[in-house]
Structure 1
Amino acid sequence: MPRTREPLDTHLLRILQILLTEQSVSRAAIKLELSQPALSNSLRRLRDITGDPILVRGKTGMVPTSRGLELLAHANDALSAIDRITQPPDDFEPARTKREFHLGAPDYLDAMFLPNIAEILRREAPYAKLIVHPINADYDYVGSLEDGGLDVVIGNWLEPPPQMHMARLFDDEVVCMIGSQNPVAHRELTPKLYLELPHLAPIPYVTTRQSFIDGYLASQGLQRNIQMTIPYFGMVAGMLLRTDLIFTTGRQFAQHYARYLPLTILPAPLPFPPMRFYLLWHERCHDAQEVIWLRQCITKVATMLGASLGNSRQNPPTRHPGKP
């Protein structure tokens, strides 16, 4: 039965490196602040572990064996790796990073929120990459946060996932959006009329839960008349301009499209709570400097947009026909 060899610890690995670098037991002992007998004992242990003399006598002193030169290269690599493990990470520098960031978000945010995030990243981290993953009913964003596929997720929920770290970003007022050609655009929108009208609705991006709007209505014992559902918010404006459908959404989204298209924004006829947007991330990257920086960038954008939403609520353009 072969004899079990002694394991090689970091201390012996460091001695191996210095012995092979200095090629002298006495010089290595001085550098390592060890006695020569102690170092000679360590050399014997290393020879036993590696099965090689490591250093042999030459004409002018000790010289490494062929295996010893190979072991020196391995020792250098191993000790460098250990140093990287035990040393704290370098300070994160956005201007120099080439990191690839992964952000999950519903395309509801495409028109206003994400472009502002992209602007900050291009200005402050020009070598970084940003990959935006669309959050929909088929995407397991919780699993992706856990396994590293995503760094952060932005979304709105009546009840955010409890197992994640969470930061509140901003609140958005719920309004109704309709094509200006629709006769309802010029009528008072009562709760009864609202529930009876044909609604356009997005497919919820969490399969096990209702959307924010329908979740609230269900809590009040109400149900709207959803006639069409769509997978992408970018389809909303075109659908409203060509149909008699009504769409319930946040003021920020509605105002963006009403600036350029003949769309009318109506006050919601029911006391919906504000659409509250959250930033989610997993414990695995809670203390990662680069992800902390990304979260700060997102929070900065949210603060800016939240301020603009506050101003718009003071003078809301509730009936805005837009531009032809």
Structure 2
Amino acid sequence: MKPSLARLDLNLLHTLQLLTQELSVSKTAAKLNVTPSTVSKSLRKLRDWFDDPLFVNTPKGLAPTPLTQSMEQDLADWLQMSSQILEKHSEDSPQGMHFDLAIESPLLLFKLNELIQRIQHRYSNAKINTHNWDYDSIGALVRGEMDIGLTGRESHPRSKESLELLPYFIDFEILFSDLPRVYLRKDHPALSEEWNMDTFLKYPHINIVWEQSETWALDEVLSEQGLKRDIALTMSSFEQSLFMAAQPQQNMLTTAPEYCLGYTQQLHPELVCLPVPINKAAQDKLLIPFTLIWHKRNAHNPKLRWLKDTIKSLYCRQK
């Protein structure tokens, strides 16, 4: 069993972090203003602690082992947080923090004002960047360009956007689940007919591109029944599709998550909301788990843990 953390000299982690940067005992010693022998002794202690070589000698210098590579970002984060802690006085609050969020819109808009207020209350002079979740957002999380994401995934077993297909280095937590609904004008001719699948497919649809795909779980469910929507217009976001569905004398309809009902009631009161006319088994395949997503390296980052808890408190009861 590994000894208690209390018995580990945390200065050794600083040495390890510099070694991952310099890949040289002598260069690390120069940075620390100590002798190479001192760094070598520290490296031996670290190897004993982690039960791993950590670095191997090569003709070009030290090469990190897979364990060391896996810790590189964590060590950098730890050093940054340590410096921030040591620079604080008891009356200080964290300042100058940067937040990069990718949240599906219009879900972002519902709670954005309150989220900004909470961030700025906790972190004075915080800088906040918001982005709509898109096909590159997972890559941005991996590259460290994004702190956290909130978006809908899919439940259909053949979907390429299911939670099971997220990369192993991505953590997630479902905040709430939703079902897609049909949005159309109050004077739409479909409302004078029986609301069933025939009526649903009789009229042209406004579709959106979702993570570079023009089809989604609904199209899979329809295809299983030998059915297909008539896509008359394809747009890039739910806001755009709802805006067009709300235009006067418009006979197109669109499909969007049920949470968008609150958005349309405020901005497009001329729209009404109906269920997708399918049975319970098919509905289960359309269920949308709205999910908080972050990189595993941020699992213990204090800023990200606070941000995750704050978003959960705002959005968990969205439904």
Q: TM-score, normalised by structure 2?
A: 0.62
Q: Does 1:162 align with 2:160?
A: no
Name which of 173, 180, 197 aligns with 2:179: 173
Given that 1:213 and 1:248 are in contact with CA atoms closer than 8 Å, whether structure 2 keeps it comes out as: no
Deviations 1:247-306 (A, max 9, x none): 11122102321345211111221142332111111122222111111111111112231x
Given that 2:106 and 2:263 are in contact with CA atoms closer than 8 Å, whether structure 1 keeps it comes out as: no
Question: What is the alpha-carbon distance in structure 2 between the residues aligned to residue 115 and residue 287 of structure 1?
Answer: 26
Match of 1:192 in 2: 198
Question: What is the alpha-carbon distance in structure 2 between the residues aligned to residue 150 and residue 12 of structure 1?
Answer: 31
Aligned residue pairs, count: 232
- Describe the SS at the equivalent of 1:168: strand
Q: How does 1:127-138 map to 2 (within 5 A)?
A: 127-136=125-134
Question: What is the alpha-carbon distance in structure 1 between the residues aligned to residue 259 and residue 180 of structure 2?
Answer: 9
Q: CA deviation at 1:246?
A: 0.9
Question: What is the alpha-carbon distance in structure 1 between the residues aligned to residue 196 and residue 228 of structure 2?
Answer: 14
Question: What is the alpha-carbon distance in structure 1 between the residues aligned to residue 202 and residue 241 of structure 2?
Answer: 19
Q: Does 1:291 align with 2:304?
A: yes
Q: CA deviation at 1:200?
A: 0.9
Match of 2:289 in 1: 276
Q: CA deviation at 1:102?
A: 0.9
Given that 1:170 and 1:303 are in contact with CA atoms closer than 8 Å, whether structure 2 keeps it comes out as: yes
- Describe the SS at the equivalent of 1:107: coil
Structure 1 gaps of 5+ residues are 1-5, 17-81, 310-324
RMSD: 3.3
The 3 A distance-change label for structure 1 pair 232 and 121 is: same
Q: CA deviation at 1:179?
A: 0.9
Question: What is the alpha-carbon distance in structure 2 between the residues aligned to residue 90 and residue 171 of structure 1?
Answer: 38
Given that 1:212 and 1:275 are in contact with CA atoms closer than 8 Å, whether structure 2 keeps it comes out as: no
Deviations 1:157-185 (A, max 9, x none): 21034211111011123221101121223
Q: CA deviation at 1:100?
A: 1.0
Question: What is the alpha-carbon distance in structure 2 between the residues aligned to residue 209 and residue 285 of structure 1?
Answer: 32
Name which of 249, 264, 271 aligns with 1:263: 271
Match of 2:140 in 1: 144
Match of 2:233 in 1: 228
Given that 1:198 and 1:245 are in contact with CA atoms closer than 8 Å, whether structure 2 keeps it comes out as: yes
Deviations 1:74-104 (A, max 9, x none): xxxxxxxx9x849956569995232111111
Given that 2:190 and 2:199 are in contact with CA atoms closer than 8 Å, whether structure 1 keeps it comes out as: no
Question: What is the alpha-carbon distance in structure 2 between the residues aligned to residue 227 and residue 122 of structure 1?
Answer: 44
Name which of 96, 103, 107 aligns with 1:105: 103
The 3 A distance-change label for structure 1 pair 277 and 95 is: farther
The 3 A distance-change label for structure 1 pair 124 and 85 is: closer
Q: CA deviation at 1:245?
A: 1.0
Deviations 1:177-210 (A, max 9, x none): 1011212234332012212321111111x22684
Q: Percent of aligned positions with the same letter in both sequences?
A: 19
Given that 2:208 and 2:235 are in contact with CA atoms closer than 8 Å, whether structure 1 keeps it comes out as: yes
Q: CA deviation at 1:112?
A: 1.5
Q: CA deviation at 1:147?
A: 0.9
Largest Rg, 1 or 2: 1
Question: What is the alpha-carbon distance in structure 2 between the residues aligned to residue 9 and residue 298 of structure 1?
Answer: 41
Q: TM-score, normalised by structure 1?
A: 0.61
- Describe the SS at the equivalent of 1:295: helix
- Describe the SS at the equivalent of 1:111: helix
Q: Which amino acid aligns with 2:291?
A: Y
Structure 2 gaps of 5+ residues are 1-24, 36-75, 155-161
Q: Which amino acid aligns with 2:144?
A: G
Question: What is the alpha-carbon distance in structure 2 between the residues aligned to residue 9 and residue 200 of structure 1?
Answer: 60
